[in-house]
């Protein structure tokens, strides 16, 4: 089976986010005063083929040890089965 993993990496709440702060200020300057906070992170898609249980183990290792820095970043992911004929970009 084929699976699509969507991995989200963000700075921990305790870490200052200068990019997020810049986005927030820019939005306020454009008149979007209702925006209270902006945080910037990374979004990564990975396509896997194989047994779901093995993929879940690999994905956890990849996300926590390669795609993120556990000291500064939080990471979570979604894993969904995709059709064999479906093309994932």
DSSP strand pairing (73-82 vs 2-11): antiparallel
The model carries a pTM of: 0.84
Which DSSP helix (H) or strand (E) runs through 56? Answer: helix 52-65
User: Model confidence at 84, in pLDDT bands (50, 70, 90)?
Assistant: confident
pLDDT at residue number 83: 86
The ranges assigned to domains in the chain are: 2-82
Just give the CATH number of 2-82: 3.30.1280.10
Position with higher pLDDT, 85 vs 37: 37
pLDDT tens string 36-73:
999 999 999 999 999 999 999 999 999 999 999 999 99
């Amino acid at each position: 089976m084929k699976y699509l993993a969507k991995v989200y990496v963000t700075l921990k709440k305790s870490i200052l986010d200068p990019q997020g702060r810049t986005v927030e200020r820019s939005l306020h300057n454009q008149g979007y005063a209702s925006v209270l906070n902006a945080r910037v992170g990374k979004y990564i898609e990975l396509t896997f083929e194989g047994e779901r249980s093995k993929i879940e183990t690999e994905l956890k290792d990849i996300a926590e040890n390669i795609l993120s820095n556990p000291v500064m970043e939080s990471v979570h992911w979604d894993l969904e089965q995709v059709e064999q004929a479906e093309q994932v970009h």
